[in-house]
Every structure is written in C-alpha cells, then in structure tokens.
Chains A and B, each alone.
Chain A
Amino acid sequence: EDQVTQSPEALRLQEGESSSLNCSYTVSGLRGLFWYRQDPGKGPEFLFTLYSAGEEKEKERLKATLTKKESFLHITAPKPEDSATYLCAGGYGGSQGNLIFGKGTKLSVKP
C-alpha cells in the first residue's frame, strides 16, 4: 500500500529560525509530489508540485526539494504568518484524482 509520512508532527520556531519539514513516500510508482499549506478551518492551499528527483521550486521563504525517496520543505527566516499545517501528498500511477496525503506538520512561528 502506498504511503506518505511526514515529520515532525509539530514544529515550533522562533521568527527568523530556519528549518526543514520532511516527507517520505513509497518510492515505487510515484509520479508527482505535492505540497499544500492549510490554515485552521480552511481548505488546503496549493504550494508546489515536484515531478522528478533533483527538482526544486521556490516561493518567497519556502523551497521544496525532491530526492529519490523523500521531499523537504525548507523554510528560510520564517515569520509568524507562516504558521500553518503543511501537507504533502503523493500521486501514484495513472490515478489522476487520488492523492495520498501525509498527516501533516503543524508549524508554529513565534515572534
């Protein structure tokens, strides 16, 4: 069974303290790795899609990378408004509509 595992479950940072979130996935058959941000009571907001090992994408203070067995979401000099739950999801095989989500990392950034 395909699986996506995120760590840590929760992360507390001071404003400006850079860190990384990890997403490990079942390697066989992965055809896309997706990162989302979710604020309380809201739907997930799309951040990045990665398709190939070695691929990197950046947006403001966030940078997503993909290796052959895991993905990282690097947060550089975070601000309190970056506080949210970050979700990663794997897309497998020919299943276009079915993303397998990890449980998420809840990030808190204190001023």
Chain B
Amino acid sequence: KAGVTQTPRYLIKTRGQQVTLSCSPISGHRSVSWYQQTPGQGLQFLFEYFSETQRNKGNFPGRFSGRQFSNSRSEMNVSTLELGDSALYLCASSPGVAGGPETQYFGPGTRLLVL
C-alpha cells in the first residue's frame, strides 16, 4: 500500500498570506490528523477529521482550519500567517474505526517557512 502523501513538501510565504496544505491518507484509512512540529514545542495536535467531520481539535487559534473530502483526502489552511507559524506540518492517517487511540501513520510533512 502507498503511504501517506503530503503536498507541497516545501513552502515559503510572507506574513499575512494564507496557505493550504494537502494530505492523501493510506487507502482505506478514514481518519486524518494534523500536527505542527517545531523545535521548541515538539509535535502538537491541530485537529482530526473522520468521514468529513472534525472529530477532535487541539489548542490552536481559529486561523488554523481544515476539511476532509469524501475520498478521505484532507486539507489544512492557515490564514493571516505569522512568523511563528514556521514549522513542519505533519499529516497522519489511521483506519478510524476503533473505539479509542489507533496507530497513526505519518506522511513526510510540509516544511513551511514564513518570512
């Protein structure tokens, strides 16, 4: 099976702009989670989508949003970019059918640099 794919792999934006990142999960996986990774804070959970619905949300401002399509592909959007949004954004997928935590499989990430 193909793994989780993310596009683009690298992105440079300026403050105030917005950005959209894309994630294609492993075939058959219906849950997609997004994480932000920075050297200081490590991996922090942004949100999780399952069957086109946001099921969980982390402690990030409303500038961070996402959506999921009927084929389970997901996008996340960051509006009004700030310098502190520079990070590696990781997408992870899992089957989503268990009644609790499942093993998540990560993509290679999108490296975002905000200037």
Contact = CB atoms under 8 A, between A and B. Distances in A.
Nearest to A42: B108
A43 B108 contact: yes
Interface residues of A, number: 27
Interface in A12-45: 31-32, 34, 36, 41-45
B3 to A, nearest CB: 9
A109 to B, nearest CB: 22
B42 A102 contact: yes
A97 B109 contact: no
A99 B104 contact: yes
B100 A87 contact: no
The contact size tier of chain B is 20 to 34
A49 B94 CA distance: 13
Interface in A78-107: 87, 89, 91-104
B56 A95 contact: yes
Interface of A: 31-32, 34, 36, 41-46, 49, 87, 89, 91-104
Top 7 closest A-B pairs, CB basis? A91-B101, A97-B48, A43-B106, A32-B101, A101-B43, A97-B33, A103-B42
